[in-house]
A and B are shown apart, each in its own frame.
Chain A
Amino acid sequence: MSTPLLSAQNVSIYYGDKQAVRDVNLTVQRGTVNALIGPSGCGKTTFLRAINRMHDLTPGARVTGRIVLDGEDVYGPGVDPVTMRRRVGMVFQKPNPFPTMSVFDNVVSGLKLAGVRDRARLMDVAERSLRGAALWDEVKDRLKTPATGLSGGQQQRLCIARALAVEPELLLMDEPTSALDPASTARIEDLMTGLKQVTTILIVTHNMHQAARVSDTTSFFLNGDLVEHGATDQVFTSPRDERTEAYVTGRFG
């Protein structure tokens, strides 16, 4: 395979004195969906948030090791976290559209931050992103209405469209369906397979079935350690580590 899009090398993450993630080594190939699974508090979300430097915002949080995105160390000297974050999209646990903005303004908010003012270009990107998030048909007649008028599932797809609009190399999803009903969850899972054409996805999920359904590779975290990382089929059907087996067969977590 070609050089990986993302590679984590000896990544450890601390909150103050407490170590939340220990010595994680992980690579992610382009155009794949990668699931991070494990019980609550195992460090999977903490690891995800290290990739776009969200821990910079938390006083006392510290990341060591290297995280290389497309050949560049995101924690390297001279790297501006603000411009670096534009290369990485993020979708959160709860849908969090900007409530005072319209549907349209939400989608293009990242582009406006990047200084794009051209109306036609914004409209173009908005349509492409909303189609990418399978939301266009539902909102094309109400682009100017408040984003909060949408249903929960639609709001989450709007957030996906918002993340896609800046054409991220990597899309981070932090349990994106945990606040949604089964129908909305299914729509977003369907969406992810198509998104592999345009980006690479790293998804944290509580739901093992979801990981099995949508991902190409799976990483199992436990107590801050990356226990096992491999092709999803292999991790679920013939795990190498007995702790992984215990987890995927539902014996704990």
Chain B
Amino acid sequence: MNEPVRPRPLTRAPLSARSDRTFQGLILALASVIVLVFVLSVYQLGRESWPALREFGLSFYTERTWNPVSGQFGAAQMLIGTLVTSLAALVLSVPLAVASALFVAEYAPKWLANPVGYLIELLAAVPSVVYGLWALFVIAPILGRWQQGFFADPANVALYTRCQDLWNSGQTTLQCFFVPSAFDGRGLALAIIILTVMILPYTASVARDVIRLVPADQREAMYALGATKWEVISRAILPYARAGILGGVILALGRALGETLAVAMVIGDSQEIIKSLWGGASTMASVIANQFGDAQERLHRSSVVALGLGLFFLSVAVNFLARVVIARLTPKGIQ
């Protein structure tokens, strides 16, 4: 005799329904932690920087004087320092990064491509402080020797004297901007150099991955039209990959804006107006690193935190902008 086949009940078994709910609750809780940390950070930054913002208002971010002795705090100089170092490092590192990505993805034979790619990624694993030490002990002396060589020429000394008069009156010209104002190699230029190396792996590894992901039929279509390898790269591969590469650039920019220790070690910690590429400067992050420990006075401490708040919003703004740009550049509607 055949047992009739009983249909499965339409309601789910109570046990699985309960474990589903439990899991859902767990995931929700874990996800909320991230949001909570974000909200708390903003809240805490806002609360701690409130005294400074109440004292100076939003002109805290547009005022150029930063003088802990007289209790005057304005972040404009650090804001400029942050943008100048980051953007200059970006301009220097992006061509290098894209070139290395193209080498690894398109030119190098496999036995060479993988080790080189790995080494480039390894650059990202080197601690900041090691970069800082390397810059101080290896790069700075090289720059310092060049600077001393510069002053060996009497004509350059005369130029320096002229520029120094300008600098002392708080001004500079394009020519004077490139005249060294120091002899030890430390300063804005060294910070830019070290940032360039530090952010290189971010753009390079993202660029390499997106270049590898360009479909074979895009390359073949260009080859079949009678293109050389370089024409395939410049007309088919790079345009197709540009949104992804830009994603890597933005990642690098975020890294450069926030990079603290290495920059703090080499930039010369000057809160004056940037007058020379070779002179001292400071970024928002470097001032936080260099001054937070010494900031005993309440307004000073609060101003340092307000720098952090500004840096936070700067990063958020950059990321938001990046998303908009990337969305516009991404190829759409490929069949």
Contact A179 B239 (CB under 8 A): no
- Residues of chain B contacted by A57 (CB below 8 angstroms): 219-220, 223
Contact A85 B225 (CB under 8 A): yes
Residue of A nearest to B110 (CB): A59
A14 in the interface (beta carbon within 8 A) = no
Interface members, chain A 63-103 (any B CB < 8 Å): 82-86, 88-90, 92-96, 98-101
- Residues of chain A contacted by B215 (CB below 8 angstroms): 96
A148 in the interface (beta carbon within 8 A) = yes
Contact A110 B226 (CB under 8 A): yes
B236 in the interface (beta carbon within 8 A) = yes
Chain A interface residue number, banded: 20 to 34
- Residues of chain A contacted by B235 (CB below 8 angstroms): 98, 109, 113
With known contacts A96-B217, A148-B331, A113–B227 Cβ distance under 8 A: yes
- Residues of chain B contacted by A89 (CB below 8 angstroms): 224
A96 and B222 CA atoms in complex are apart in Å by 10
B154 in the interface (beta carbon within 8 A) = no
Interface members, chain A 133-151 (any B CB < 8 Å): 146, 148-149
Chain B interface residue number, banded: 20 to 34
Residue of B nearest to A95 (CB): B335
Of the candidates B218, B223, B236, which one forms a contact with A85 in the assembled complex, judged by CB atoms under 8 Å apart?
A: B223
With known contacts A148-B334, A179-B335, A100–B242 Cβ distance under 8 A: yes
Q: How near does chain B come to A48, taking the closest CB pair, in angstroms?
A: 11
**Besides the known contacts A82-B226, A99-B331, A113-B226, 16 further A-B residue pairs in the complex with CB atoms under 8 A apart:** A54-B223, A54-B224, A57-B223, A83-B226, A85-B225, A90-B220, A90-B221, A90-B224, A94-B335, A96-B218, A98-B222, A98-B239, A99-B240, A113-B225, A114-B226, A163-B225
A binding-site residues for B, Cβ under 8 Å = 52, 54, 57, 82-86, 88-90, 92-96, 98-101, 109-110, 113-114, 146, 148-149, 152, 155, 159, 162-163, 166, 179
